[in-house]
A and B are shown apart, each in its own frame.
Chain A
Amino acid sequence: MSVVLAPATLEEALSLLAEHPAALVMAGGTDLLVRLRGTTPGNAPPLLSLARVVELRGVVAEPSFLAIGAATPFSRIIADPLVGAHASLLAQAARTMGGPAIRNMATLGGNIATASPAGDSLPPLFLLDARVELASLTGRRGLPLAEFIRAPGRTDLRQGELIARILLPRTPPWDRECFAKIGRRRALAIAVACFAGLARLDQRGRIAEIRMAWGSVGPTVVRLAALEAELAGAPVHAATLTQVRRAVFHGVAPISDLRASAAYRRLVAANLATNFVEGLRG
Chain B
Amino acid sequence: MAGATKSRGDLLQGTLDMLILQALLLGPAHGHTIAKLIGQRSNDLLQVEYGSLYPALYRLEDRGWIAARWGASQSNRKAKYYRLTPLGRKQLTIETSRWARLVTGVAHVLRPAT
A, B bound: no
| Interfacial residues, chain B to chain A (CB-CB below 8 A) | none
| Interfacial residues, chain A to chain B (CB-CB below 8 A) | none
